[in-house]
Structure 1
Amino acid sequence: MFAYTVIVFQLLRFTRIRSSSSMGGDLTRKGKKIMTLKPVLTIAAGEWVPYTKFNEDVPEGFTIEGPMKELLNIFTKLLNFDYKLVRTADNLWGGPLPNGSWTGMLGILKRQEAELSIAPFFITPQREEVCDFTIPVYIDNQAILMIRPTLQSDVSGFLKPFTMEVWLLIVASLISMVLVMNFIVNLEHKIHGDDNGFFFSKISLWILKALTQESSEWLPTKDAGRFLVFIWLMASFVFMSCYSGILTALLTVPKVDIPINSLSDLARQTKLPWRLEAGSMMYSFFEESTEELGKKVFNEKIGTFQDCWEDRERIAAGEFAAICDTTTMMKSMSWDFSKTGKCHLYRSREKVYTNGILSVAFRTKSSYLPKANKIILTLKEAGIMDKWLRDQMANSSQCLRPPTADRTGGIQPLDFESFTGSFLLLLGGK
């Protein structure tokens, strides 16, 4: 509390707020104190959890909560004004229309209907044409938010220990050994004058049994054939030792298949549809994109959504994937884990948009902007802005871990589905 008081005192000294008739406050005349009214500013507000959250259970209609409300409280004290909040019906930050006008809060600022918008904005060159921005209040990234991948049994898991190339080489080795041993064993019997029996079926069955570590009563009787037996037994031992060890690890500690970890993954897959946030910077970003990937993301979306916080449960249910700012993702994960004790959301490893600058928007040539910049700078240097945001996100680190960490103990008991592929192969062999 003492540190906070010191910061406020420094802000008062730094911004040099003085009482004046234009800004409101107290006037002193002949030793008497005369109260004057503060100016009442119109401020546009939008809900963007965790930065701002609407509270509508109040007599005045609605108020906001969150870090931006704390900043607004500092503004009202140090810039000496009262305010009334307004919001757009669709909670849009705003975008341009073909006739040159703008929607949402940016439209309100462009028409000079509000002094500022307390909701933070991602700065873009297009937005800078309709309003003035403060120095950055936060830096944020955009990534993909989706349903969390889960650990699942794999019917074809018994094939996963080796790559397709290795399996093909094993099959080729098996066929080659059958042909070579059959030729050598028959040749030996001819050389020694023994009865030339038909050994092909016996040789083929022995080689297959040796590969699968099964015993066999038949063995070649001559030296060359037995030498080939020794070579194949050693090769089979190495193969089966590696295979059984890797298979056990895969069945008990399997890797989680994460189909979407980048924007290209999102556009390439077809199982999970995606949406873009209406009226957002990312909607305009993809709409104006000249790259093939950006065009594909915009053209093949299944629609828009209000915002990531509002639609967090639909995203967690797997209805669609969404491109969101990472701070809102962390807040949604924090809420999810606090409510359910589990993690149902996953954030892609690769970012879609990096180092986006978030600032407060003022109407063009606002007289309050220079002093607001000084206030923000002081709060950022003191670490207060970051503290306000951190206080909104408890328990988020739990769900930032990889999905493989969801299983406690690291070992999973084998279920029936894990053996299905092996049983089917055994049945086919019978």
Structure 2
Amino acid sequence: MMQSLQEVLADPEVVWDLTQNPASFRFPSSPAVVAAAVHWPPHITVSRGTDGVLTVSGAMGNVMQVLSRTLNFTYSIITPQDGSWGAERPNGTWTGMVGQVVQNEADIALGPFGIKLSRSRVVDFTDSFYFDDRAILAKKGEPEIDPWGFLYPLTDSVWAALAGVLAVVWLMLGMVSRRPKVVTLLDWSIELLLENVRVFLNQDVTKSLLGTIKARTVLGSWMVVAAVVYWSYTGTLTSLLAVRHIPLPIQTLRNLLDDPSVSVIMEPNTIVTDTISKMKTGELRELHELQFVGRVKYQHAATFPAALDTVVRRQHHAIISTSLSADLFMADLFTLTGKCDFYKARQTFFTSTHCMIGQKGSPVVPAITHRIRSLIESGVYGHWLLSEIPAITTCRSSPPITLVRAPLSLANLWGAVVVLGTGHLVALVAFLLELCWARTCHCRHSSMIPAENTRYPYSQVAIKHGGEKYDDMAGCQIT
């Protein structure tokens, strides 16, 4: 009859050999090892056969195969009733896989487990063979039209550079052009600025400003720059109008905490839930307190894929899991649907170790550590994990924009219409103010310009009407 691990370890010679030569030790007679496990892809997949016997596969299943061959033991799998890793009860006992190891129901537990002080008091940890952090998994928004897309063909730096060049050209044109004596410096400066803006918008140029070669040279150089930028802008804008932006609103833990419409799905009795419950301040403490306002649902990891395709898809929930598990969930749904409907938030948090555990003081744990260390150094464990997720990079790097082919509508361009309407409104207000000013002003000019002098479009031309003289710009009588 096959002996259990505890019966084999009762032999002092076996224990001495195991303690002195943990790297090369093999059991002389193959003992039966009981291992506790919980279904947690891609690390470990627990399956129940038609005969009711549990088997494990995945990366941790491969680890068990290596340990079984190199240490010469057979193993059987058990799983805790609550399906958890293990948490300490108020009376000092433990639940989950940790509880099975502490109560000698299992010799080892596959986990993988995060190391914490309370657990280390009752079990022994192997070396860590993987580090992972926690990520937020949420549903992407529906593609939206950005009405302000006409501002995007040029970056902020290009807009700033254009403003700087415009200011330089404006000053240079003011220095090399001739200002009519009848025009004030302020009016002349405004007219020059508007002239440069007209050039940038590919409009005509006032001939009176091209009287000198210097002025023509300045305006000509500005025309070249404006034409290149204008053509680049129009070409890029055509492409951007065919783009739809996909909202990804939750990018940090703070975004999740501040959105009262989104609830959190987490796994119970883990190192994360236990640690954040003991924190006094900070975002992780706020995450723990969400349960008191009904914004936390505790579910086992095996139910996450179903939750992802139901409540998370409706954008009322978000899942917090390890980053690798989030990649697995997205990849599996992509394999089924061909779409990347979900995304991982940019921020990750709470990095933890991944270890196996054994009974406290067990000499088997150092022997397991030596073999796990070899798997880590060779990169085999990481290779096994990635091989469990064939489409791991497909949705991880999916772009937040999509290209569509549809006719332009007001939804695409209402931002430009708002700019146009605002400009007309400002012009109307300025016109009304000018009318009010013209009616209330009192003109007192000691001299006037002959009526036949209409050479300059900016001059204030005096006309005769009924024996009196009027300024055609202000509409006021000249005394």
Same fold (TM over 0.5): yes
Offset of residue 98 of structure 1: 3.0
Distance 1:250 1:188 in 2: 45
**Matched letter for residue 327 of structure 1:** L
Quick one: which amino acid aligns to residue 341 of structure 1? G
| Rounded Cα–Cα distance in structure 2 between residues aligned with 1:319 and 1:309 | 20
CA distance in 1, matches of 2:325, 2:387: 13
Q: Report whether the alignment pairs 1:422 with 2:422.
A: no
Residue in 2 that maps onto 1:87: 80
Paired letter, 2:79: V
- For residues 155 and 75 of structure 2, what CA distance do their matches in structure 1 show? 70
- Percent identity between the two aligned chains: 22
Q: Deviations over 1:297-356 (max 9, x none)?
A: 2223611342455323533513322222122122223212221222222223332133x2
Retained in 2: the 8 A contact 1:305–1:311? no
What residue number does 1:311 align with? 304
Structure 2, unaligned stretches of length 5 or more?
1-20, 171-178, 185-190, 425-479
Q: Which residue of 2 aligns with 1:377?
A: 373
| Paired residue secondary structure (2:415) | helix
SS in 2 for 1:126: helix
The counterpart of 1:347, out of the listed 341, 344, 347, is 344
8 Å contact from structure 2 (residues 145, 243) kept in 1: no
1:392 counterpart (388, 394, 398) = 388
Change (3 A) 1:391 1:241: closer
* SS of residue matched to 2:307: helix
CA distance in 1, matches of 2:111, 2:101: 12
- Unmatched runs of 5 consecutive residues or more in structure 1: 1-10, 20-24, 26-37, 178-186, 193-201
Aligned pairs for 1:177-196 within 5 A: none
1 CA distance for matches of 2:181 and 2:238?
43
Letter in 2 for 1:130: V
* Change beyond 3 A, Cα 1:150–1:353: farther
Bigger mean CA offset, 97-106 vs 263-272? 263-272
* Equivalenced residues, count: 384
For normalisation by structure 1, the TM-score amounts to 0.69
| 2:324 counterpart (304, 322, 327) | 327
Using the alignment, how far apart are the partners of 2:45 and 2:279 within structure 1?
Answer: 31
* Amino acid corresponding to residue 286 of structure 2 in structure 1: K
Q: CA deviation at 1:209?
A: 8.0
**Which amino acid letter does the alignment assign opposite residue 303 of structure 1?**
V
Superposed displacement of residue 254, structure 1 = 6.5
Judged with a 3 Å threshold, the aligned counterparts in structure 2 of structure 1 residues 80 and 207 are, in CA distance, closer, same or farther, namely: closer
Q: 2:50 aligns with which of 49, 58, 64?
A: 58
Q: Is the 8 A contact 2:26 2:72 kept in 1?
A: no
Q: Shift of residue 425 of structure 1?
A: 5.1
Q: 2:135 aligns with which of 139, 143, 147?
A: 143
1:277 matched to 2:267? The reply is: yes
Structure 1 pair 97–159 and aligned structure 2 pair: CA distance change class (3 A): farther
Given that 1:123 and 1:359 are in contact with CA atoms closer than 8 Å, whether structure 2 keeps it comes out as yes
Q: What amino acid is aligned across from residue 307 of structure 2 in structure 1? A: R
2:290 to 300, 307, 314: 300
AA aligned to 1:361 is: I
Distance 2:65 2:223 in 1: 80
Show the counterpart of 1:32.
Answer: none
Q: Does 336-345 or 270-279 show the bigger shift?
A: 270-279
- Out of 331, 338, 356, the position equivalent to 1:360 is 356
Compare 130-139 and 312-321 and name the one that shifted more.
312-321
Match of 1:108 in 2: 100
CA distance in 2, matches of 1:239, 1:43: 69
CA distance in structure 1 between the partners assigned to 2:182 and 2:376 by the alignment: 93
Q: 1: CA distance between counterparts of 2:131 and 2:42?
A: 14
Please give the alpha-carbon distance, in whole angstroms, between the structure 2 residues aligned to 1:394 and 1:358.
22
Secondary structure at the aligned position of 1:397 is classed as: coil
Do 1:308 and 1:322's aligned partners in 2 also have CA atoms closer than 8 Å?
Answer: no
CA distance in 2, matches of 1:213, 1:414: 29
